[in-house]
Amino acid sequence: MIRVGVVNVTGYAGVEAARLLLTHPQARMVACTGRSEAGKPLAAVFPHLFQYDLTITEQIETDVDAVIGCLPHAASAAALAPFVERGIPVVDVSADFRLHNPAEYAAWYGGDHPAPQLLDGAVYGLPELHREAIAASRLVANPGCFPTSALLALAPAWQAGLIEPGIIVDSKSGISGAGRGLALGYHFAEADEDVVAYGLKGHRHLPEITQELSLLAESPAPRVTFVPHLSPMVRGIESTCYADLRLDRLGADPASELLGLYRDFYHDAPFTRVVGAAPHTKHTAGTNFCLVHPTVDRRTGRLVVSACLDNLVKGASGQAVENLNLMLGLPQGAGLDGAALYP
């Protein structure tokens, strides 16, 4: 059994990693940290995890074979660097290793990169695009939840050169995406029955989207407008992406041709499903799946793609477990084959 340590189990991503590892057939969480709750039994802090007999510690104090890091950016790189330097496989759920350029990191995250010496060895952990590199890596940067949905929605059409560079990504996220920290805007009375756009001047997930799209095609450079919205649900992301089609590169039935292209692109991707109708966030709740539906607005000649996922699973800890499986030579879907919660 592979021994996994979870750094910062007390955040939503950390506790979700613990939940998923509880039923993993070949890996177990044997250590977990959390500065605010150190010294307490995990089951006392999270009663739904009563099957664990573990105490939360300030640092990982036992031998582990792999680590999932769930600290905020900057703090995460500093905590994980010693494990990386010892050759222990690490998946970082924070943003610290997602951007290849340290100057880009500084521009978006407001400070110098805390471990620039590790950037060259980090792999962006979207298995649908980088599965082989992930399997060969010892440091994987788990993608952001919004970029996961946007990239899976856009990658097939962008790589095939079927859309113009002006792209709009309109995303809605559940409140758990903001984490467990207390803030007025996330209180029930404030957030219920309300939807609001944020990050209108630029969101930190935008450079991830442009970075990864740029790697799929040499030119032209993508020009992405990304606007997220806070939506009154606990879990889920729905991203609707728009781009002008290059109709001269498509046949008489562009919608069917695009559907076939997407299905071919994700033929070997176990957790991205191309569906024939617009998906719902509930269709993915609690699962590691992303559901993608491409279609065409014939009046305007635009591609319209809807993608849904659970922001805490495929958008965070489920994808972290998926990446860890690849890094450790395990079946990609180990521990991740549950059906969606319904209703």
pLDDT in tens, 301-342: 999 999 999 999 999 999 999 999 999 999 999 999 999 999
Confidence of residue 91 (pLDDT cuts 50, 70, 90): very high
173 and 52 part of one domain? no
| Residues 137 and 115 reside in one and the same domain | yes
Domain membership of residue 130 (yes or no) is: yes
- Cα gap 265→268, rounded to integer Å: 8
Across residues 154-175, what is the average pLDDT? 98
Q: Note whether 58 and 186 are same-domain residues.
A: no
CB 169 within 8 A of CB 150: yes
Q: What is the Cβ-side half-sphere exposure of residue 154, based on CA atoms within 13 angstroms?
A: 36
Flag whether pLDDT at 182 surpasses 90. Answer: no
Where would I find the H helices in 55-205?
75-85, 102-109, 127-135, 145-159, 188-191
The tokens for 77 are 């790189």
Kindly state whether residue 334 falls inside one of the protein's structural domains.
no
The conformation of residue 74, written as its DSSP 8-state character, comes to: T
Burial 112-142 (b: 16+ CB within 10 A, else e): ebbbeebbeebbbbbbbbbbeebbebbbbbb
Domain count of the chain? 2
Distance between first and last Cα of the chain: 34
* Residue 156 included in any domain: yes
Average pLDDT over residues 196-207: 96
299 and 168 co-located in one domain: yes
What six digits make up the tokens of 103?
């100057």
| pLDDT average, residue stretch 80-109 | 97
Cβ contacts of residue 99 below 8 Å, gap of 6+?
Answer: 105, 108, 207, 208, 211
Quickly tell me which residue has 């709009």 as its tokens: 168
Whether residue 139 contacts residue 115, with contact meaning beta carbons closer than 8 Å, is answered with: no
The fraction of the chain above a pLDDT of 70, given in percent, is: 100
**pLDDT (mean) for 121-127:** 98
Distance separating alpha carbons of residues 337 and 236, to the nearest angstrom: 18
pLDDT surpassing 90 at residue 219: no
Q: Are residues 157 and 206 in the same domain?
A: yes
Assigned domain for 342 exists = no
Residues 30, 115 within the same domain: yes
Flag whether 341 is in a domain: no
Active-site positions read 145
Can you give the CATH number for the domain in which 158 is found? 3.30.360.10
Domain that includes residue 208, residue range: 146-310
- Report which residue type is found at 274: V
- pTM value surpassing 0.95: yes
CA 152 to chain centre: 11
Residue pLDDT, tens place only, 25-50: 999 999 999 989 999 999 999 999 99
Distance of CA 33 to CAs 14, 56, 69, 271, Å?
A: 9, 5, 10, 29
In contact, 312 and 319? CB cutoff 8 Å: no
Q: Both tokens of residue 229?
A: 């919205």
Q: Which of 237, 229, 239, 230 is nearest to 313 (CA)?
A: 237
pLDDT per residue over 62-76, tens digit each? 999 999 999 999 999
Position 123 in a domain: yes
Is 231 part of any domain?
yes
- 133 and 64 assigned to the same domain: yes
Whether 206 and 236 map to the same domain: the answer is yes
What is the per-residue pLDDT for 139? 98
Residue 130 sits in the same domain as residue 150: no
Here the CATH number for the domain that contains residue 83 is 3.40.50.720
Within-domain flag for 333? no
Same domain, 206 and 287: yes
Share of the chain above pLDDT 90, in %: 98
**232, 194 Cβ separation under 8 angstroms:** yes
Structure tokens at 138: 């010892």
Average pLDDT, stretch 297-303?
96
Helix (H) or strand (E) holding 255: helix 254-265
What is the average per-residue pLDDT within 199-227? 96
Task: Tell whether 231 and 306 lie within a shared domain.
Answer: yes
pLDDT of residue 217: 94
Q: Do 139 and 150 belong to one domain?
A: no
